[in-house]
A and B are shown apart, each in its own frame.
Chain A
Amino acid sequence: MNDLQTAPRPAVLARQSFIEMSARERAAALLDPEGQREVLGPFDGLQSPWLPRQGIVPQSDDGVVVLRGRLGGRDAVVAALEGRFQGGSIGEVCGAKIAAALELALRDCEAGRPVLPVLLLETGGVRLQEANLGLAVIAEIQSAVVALRRHVPVVAAIAGLVGCFGGMSLVAGLCSHIVITRQARLGMNGPEVIEQEAGVEELDAADRQLVWSLIGGEQRVATGLADALVDDDAAQVREQVLGFALGAPSEARSAQVSIWRARIDALAANEDLSPKALREAWETPRRAQGDKP
């Protein structure tokens, strides 16, 4: 955490919080500094046609920044969700921006011009005001991720504080690699939704310690559901994303069906399984990059 950085520090020690950055700043911090170019930026005026009809002020980028540029010198595209606009929710326009970017990257990959895709996921899931168009475009994003993965690694980074939920948590599951911070959470149903649907005895959404012990970044990496734990440090996030993006494509977690099926079946009868017991059952070799020095 960077709470203590109130006084100026020498540049070499200074750490820049990634979590506090806007989506635009995050995307820019990830790519090589030279040659960045936003596509369908705020001046293109593509905003949600649905929010104003329901009395909600739209945003000129609809909460997604798509930045073209380079990663370690190679052609790349970053799609970054803005958690501060409508909770990073997926509407028609912002979803289509992500889908279109991935589809064009796929087209280039198929033509022998690899483009490295990176997704910065900060989202509560489908935007309720655009419900079915949000859900539909998530299916299209998923299809593109699965197709792209055969050509290049698809890297997801989940920094927080919103985390990654709903249909977009499935997108994270489809990616080749997931980079996550301790502050971030990755889950399908948000704690509030579970409490509401299943009762407070199922999950007390206000119990932050419990919630993070179940679906927080540290637990996700310890149980093999994410690949690398990073500090809230822009340089560290970039270094880790770069390492994965420039590596060889590997079999995605979501394609390793027999291994994961067996893991679930082995624990199906254990109704009182604790997060700690799960770690012991699923402990995976920690990646050197994710470990604290």
Chain B
Amino acid sequence: MSTPLSRGRIWFDHLAADARRVDGLPASVLAADGTLDGGPARFLAVVPDPASPFARARQGEVGLREGWGLAAALREALRDDRDGARRALVAVVDVRGQAYGRREEMLGIHLACAAAVDAYASARQAGHKVVALLVGGAMSGAFLAHGYQAQRLLALDDAGVTVHAMGREAAARVTRRSLAELDEIAGAQPPMSYRIADYAGLGLLHRLIDGVDAQAPSARQVERVRESLVEALRDIGSGERDLSVRWTAARAREGRAASVEVRRRMAEQWTR
């Protein structure tokens, strides 16, 4: 059985075409050093590895080796740039979820994913600019581990690009609803929606990029996406090291009004 090219690999190959591959990582973790906006950038992606010793992590899931592998690739960049210019970090996101398995739980998949979160957050807080480009699934704990610590989130406006806490089929099973019923509820409740346009309405996305073939982009479309990444990098302020844009942006004030209200009132009550 041949493995179809994953979107993660397709976009990684386009964006990091002239980049130097980082070795010492599992086959499912791609990392390469190239350039973006004339500066150094490390591109990262998680892709399927049909030969993984972990059977539950062969289809592009974030499992034990992927979490720790991402952390290793990021920590290396952190170490190497400690005394110089911090390279940009670009997460190419196409992750269908975390690996669901007995062995994964026993060996601490939560810690492996935490290690990737830690490395992304530590890099951002140390002055690396972090951008995530959503080209496929951005599901649940896998997205937390790979992409959700970025200062700017960009997504292709495509039906196959989805951010969610639980896959559509699994959510239907858990809530004992048909897919049609689930879609109806999700359509009326923006946080539950599987549509990337509804996600954009929450105020968490920096940009939704339309008119791009996510599976087979033309050279011109790749160039447009690269320009969007450059714009996002430039949009990150030099001292901006947290995620506050996600609740201060104009769209977030509407899409996440309660989040904004909680932060405002907690600050009022914090010191008496």
Q: Which residues of A contact B (CB under 8 A)?
A: 37, 39-40, 44, 46, 48-50, 53-54, 66, 68, 92-93, 95-97, 99-101, 103-104, 125-126, 128-140, 142-143, 146-147, 166-167, 169-174, 186-189, 193-194, 196-198, 202-203, 214-215, 219, 223, 225, 252-255, 257-258, 260-261, 264-265, 267-269, 271, 273, 275, 278
Residue of A130, A187, A196, A255 near B115 (CB, 8 A) is A255
Q: Which residues of B contact A (CB under 8 A)?
A: 53-56, 64-65, 68-69, 71-72, 75, 98, 100-115, 117-119, 121-122, 124-125, 140-141, 143-145, 148-149, 163-166, 170-171, 173-175, 185, 188-193, 199, 202, 204, 242-243, 246-247, 256-259, 261-263, 265-267, 269-270, 272
Taking the nearest CB of chain A, how far is it from the CB of B125, in angstroms?
Answer: 6
Give the residues in chain A near B170, CB-CB below 8 Å: 193, 196-197
A95 (CB) vs chain B CBs: closest residue: B259
B55 (CB) vs chain A CBs: closest residue: A271
Give the residues in chain A near B165, CB-CB below 8 Å: 125-126, 128, 131-132, 134-135, 166-167
Give the residues in chain A near B102, CB-CB below 8 Å: 194, 198, 202-203, 214
Q: Which of B109, B166, B204, B262 has the most CB of A within 10 A?
A: B262
A142 (CB) vs chain B CBs: closest residue: B117
Q: Contact at B266–A253, with CB atoms within 8 Å?
A: no
CA distance A140 to B75 in the complex (A): 20
CA distance A123 to B9 in the complex (A): 35
CA distance A136 to B261 in the complex (A): 16
Give the residues in chain B near A223, CB-CB below 8 Å: 108
* 17 pairs from A and B in contact (CB 8 Å cutoff): A40-B262, A40-B266, A48-B258, A50-B191, A97-B262, A104-B266, A132-B164, A139-B243, A187-B105, A188-B98, A188-B105, A189-B109, A194-B102, A196-B174, A255-B119, A257-B75, A260-B115
Taking the nearest CB of chain B, how far is it from the CB of A282, in angstroms?
Answer: 9
Q: Contact at A214–B105, with CB atoms within 8 Å?
A: yes
Taking the nearest CB of chain B, how far is it from the CB of A217, in angstroms?
Answer: 14
Q: Contact at B53–A269, with CB atoms within 8 Å?
A: yes
A46 in contact with B261 given A92-B191, A193-B100, A258-B72 (CB within 8 Å): yes
Q: Contact at B191–A100, with CB atoms within 8 Å?
A: no
Q: Which of A39, A66, A68 has the most CB of B within 10 A?
A: A39
Q: Contact at A136–B202, with CB atoms within 8 Å?
A: yes
B270 (CB) vs chain A CBs: closest residue: A104
CA distance A196 to B115 in the complex (A): 26
Taking the nearest CB of chain B, how far is it from the CB of A40, in angstroms?
Answer: 6
Give the residues in chain B near A92, CB-CB below 8 Å: 191, 256, 258-259
Taking the nearest CB of chain A, how far is it from the CB of B199, in angstroms?
Answer: 6
A173 in contact with B149 given A143-B242, A188-B105, A273-B103 (CB within 8 Å): no
CA distance A260 to B207 in the complex (A): 36
B175 (CB) vs chain A CBs: closest residue: A128
Q: Which of B164, B165, B263 has the most CB of A within 10 A?
A: B165
Taking the nearest CB of chain B, how far is it from the CB of A153, in angstroms?
Answer: 15
Q: Contact at A257–B185, with CB atoms within 8 Å?
A: no
